[in-house]
Amino acid sequence: MSLTLAAIAVLGGLAVLVWSADRFVDGAAATALHAGMPTLLIGMVIIGFGTSAPEMVVSAFSAAQGNPGLALGNAYGSNISNIALILGLTALLSPIAVTSRVVRKELPILLLITVLAVGQLFDGFISRMDAWVLLGVFFVLMGWSIFQGMRSRHDSLEADVDVTVDVEPMPLRKALFWTVFGMLLLVVSSRILVWGAVEIARAFGVSDLIIGLTVVAIGTSLPELASALAATRKGEHDLALGNVLGSNLFNTLAVVGIAGAIHPMPVDSIVLWRDCTVMGGLTVALLVFGIGIRGSGGRINRLEGAGLLVIYLSYNAYLVSQVLAAV
pLDDT digits (tens, 9 = 90+) for 13-64: 888 877 887 787 778 777 777 777 665 556 556 666 666 777 888 888 888 8
What three-state secondary structure class fits 300? strand
Q: What is the pLDDT of residue 327?
A: 63
d(CA 56, CA 49): 9
Share of the chain above pLDDT 90, in %: 24
Calculate Rg over the CA atoms of the chain: 19
Architecture of domain 2-326: Up-down Bundle (1.20)
**Are residues 52 and 250 in contact, defined by beta-carbon separation less than 8 angstroms?**
yes
Q: Mind listing the pLDDT tens digit for each residue in 104-161?
A: 678 889 999 999 999 999 999 999 999 999 999 999 988 887 776 666 544 443 333 3
**Are residues 284 and 111 in contact, defined by beta-carbon separation less than 8 angstroms?**
yes
Element (H, E) at 107: helix 107-119
Mean pLDDT of 269-277: 91
192 versus 36: which is more confidently predicted? 192
Distance of alpha carbon 298 from the chain centroid: 24
What pTM did the predictor assign?
0.80
Q: What is the pLDDT of residue 100?
A: 65
d(CA 52, CA 49): 5
Q: Which residues contact 202 (CB under 8 A, 6 or more apart)?
A: none
Least-confidence region, from 120-129, 195-204, 220-229, 254-263: 220-229
Statement: residue 229 has pLDDT above 70: yes
| DSSP secondary structure letters along 81-130 | IIIIIIIHHHHHHSPEE--HHIIIIIHHHHHHHHHHHHHTTTTSEE-HHH
- Return the C-alpha torsion angle 236, 238, 241, 247, nearest 10: -80
Average pLDDT of the chain to the nearest whole number: 80
Least-confidence region, from 22-26, 80-84, 244-248: 22-26
